[in-house]
Structure 1
Amino acid sequence: MDETAPPTRRTGSGRGRASGRVGIRDVARDAGVSVATVSRVLADDGYPVSEASRRKVLESVARLNFVPNDLARGLSQDRTNTVGVIVPNLANLYYARVLLGVEEVAAQNGMSIIFCNTNHNLANRERDIKLLLQKRVDGIIICGSGTDYENSAGRLADGPAPFVVLGRNEKLDYPAVHADNRRAGYTATRHLVDLGHTRIAFLTGPERWSDGNDRVAGYKACLADHGLDFDPDLLIRCDFAEQDAYERMTQRGHAGMGFSACLAGNDRIALGAMAAAIDLGLRVPEDLAFVGFDNIATSLYMRPSLTTMDMPAQRMGAEGMRLMLRILAGEAVPSRTVFDAALLVRQSSGGLR
C-alpha cells in the first residue's frame, strides 16, 4: 500500500525549494504520496504501484519540471549508466564518426556519454581519466592508437572501471576494436602501383601512431611484392593536420618532388598536401596522384575528389560501445575485433577513367 501525505499546491514558477532546485521530496509533497512511491515510479522497475499514485507522481514531475538525479540513483545501485569517451582531437572528423557510433548504441541502451578531448596532450589525458573515474563512470572508451596511454596502463588496470580501446595499442591489455591498417596500406599502395606509379611517397603521422605505422608496413610490403625498392627519403613524417602537411609538401616541391604519387596518412594530411601541390602549379592527378585514409565528409566534395580508404569509424565506435555493454553485463568479450577498410576510387588518384 502507498503511503500518502497531504498534498501541497504551489503557485508561480512551481519551483519546489528556495534554492530553485526541485527534489524528490518536493514531488512527493506535491503528489500527496511518499518519497518511496516517487522513487518506485521513477525507477519503473516493475515494483507494484497503483495506477492512481503513478499518475499523480508523473503529473507532479511534469508540473514541477523535476529532473531525476541520475548520479544519486546510480550510486545507490552501484551504477551510473554513464560511459566516458576519451578522444585525441575532436577537430578530426574521423573521431566525430567514431563518436556517432558510440552515442547511437549508448542511447539505444539507456546510457549517457561524457566526452573528453585531450587534443593530443598527455596532461589533459591524465586529467580526463581522473575526472571520469571521480564521476564514477561505469566504463571508459579510449579512442586512438599509439603510445599515449602507456604510462597510465598500470593505473587503469587497477582502477574500478573497465576499459575498451578503439585503435590498436599493444601496450594496453584491454579489449580493442580497430581496422586492419596494414591491409589498408597495402590496398592503397597497390591501387597506385596498378596505375603505373613506381615512385610513391608516404606522408604520414608521428612514429608513435600505431595505426599509421601499420599502414606504412602495408605500403612497404606492397612495394616489395611488386619489385619496387623502398626509399626512406619518400617516407615523410608530419603531424595530423592540414597545415603541417601543406608545409612539408611545399618544402619537397621546392627541393624537387622526386615522386609521382603520394599516400597520405589520413584525409586531413591529404587535403593539406594536395593544396600545396596545386599551389606549386602541379596538376592532380596528372602530375601528382593522391590517396588518403578515413573518408571524411569533405573528401568527396573537394575538387578533385579524394581517393581514400574508407575506414569504418562509425561501425568501430558502435562495436566498442557494444563490447562495453557486454563487459558491464559480466560477459566475456574478444580481445580483438578487426574491421576491413574499402578503397573508394575518385578523381585524385587518376583511377577514374
Structure 2
Amino acid sequence: MAAVAVVDLTAGPGVGFLPLIALGPAFAGLAGSMRRTGAISVLAMGLCLTLSLYNGQFGERRGSTALLGVAGVSAAGLLATAGRKRREAELASVRSIAEVAQRVLLRPVPLSVGPLRIAVSYTSAVAEARIGGDLYEVVTSPRGVRVIVGDVQGKGLEAVETAAVVLGAFREAAYDEVDLVTVGARLERALGRHLSDEKFVTAVLAELSDDTATLLDFGHPPPLLVRHDGGVEYVEVPDPAPPLGLGSLAKEEPQPYAQPFAPGDQLLFYTDGVTEARDPDNRFYPLAERTGLLKDPNPQTALDAIREDLVAHVERPLRDDAAMLLLRHRTR
C-alpha cells in the first residue's frame, strides 16, 4: 500500500494505481488475524480516501470505483480470515485427536528395561500423519522382555485398524502366554476374527532374557544384529512362518530361533519401508552399510541418525511407512 501511494503521488492520478490499495487487505486476509486484517482494511480505506481527495477524484467515477473496490476486497478479506481461522481451529482439534490416537496405538516404549536400552523411530508415508500400518511394542513379562515389530498389508485407516487389533492382542498375550509360539497363536486367532480377503500382517516377535534373543518370524524382514566387536549380520530364522492372517497355509507349528545377544550387541528391527526405500537412481537403502551411525552412546540419537540418513537417501517423501526399533544390550 505504501508503494502504491508513492507511485500515485509521484506519477500523478493519471496512472490509475489507486485501486491497487486493495492489495493490502487481500494479502492480510491470507495470513493475518481478524484484528490485523480489520486494521489494514481501515488503513486501506483511509489511504484510498486521502489520495482521492488529494487527487481531486473524490466523488468522481474513478475515485468512487477505487473506494468501492477497496471496501469490497476488505470485506472479502475479513470473510476469508474468519473462514481460515475456523478451519485452523478444526485442524488443530483433529491433530489433537491424532496425537491421542498415536499414544493409544503406538505407546511410548520404555527407554530402559533390565539390561536393555530401547529406541524407536516411526515415519509415516502419509503427509502430516503420525500413525499408519507399521507397528511396534515392548512388553515386560514374567518371562522376559517381549517385542513385536510388524507391517500391515495395505495403507490408510483400514491398516491402522488392523494394527490396533494386533497390538491389543499382543499386549495381552505377551504378558500371559508361556512362550512366543502361543503368543503368535493368539495373534493369529485375533486376526482371524478381523481380517478378510486374504489380508495379512508380517511380524517378528522377540523374547529377550539373559544373553539370548529368541525370535519368531512371520514373514517379516530379518532383524539386523550389530555385535560389540563391529560385526554385522542379518538374523535369518531358519523356518519362518507365513504372515499372520495366513496361518492356515502353515504345514506345521512355527519354531522359535535362539540367537546369542551379548552385552554390547545391538539388535535393530525394522519394516520393509526402510530397506525398500529407493533413491532417485532406484537404489535400495543399504541399511547394513549404515550401522556405523549406531555408535552414538545414546540409542535414540543413534537411531535418529539412521532415520535422517534414510530420508536423505530417498530425497523425497517416503512411499511406505518406515518403523525401526533398536535394542541395545548394556555393557556390563
TM (norm. structure 2) is 0.29
Q: Where is the helix percentage greater, Structure 1 or Structure 2?
A: 2
Greater per-residue strand proportion = 2
TM-score using structure 1 length: 0.27
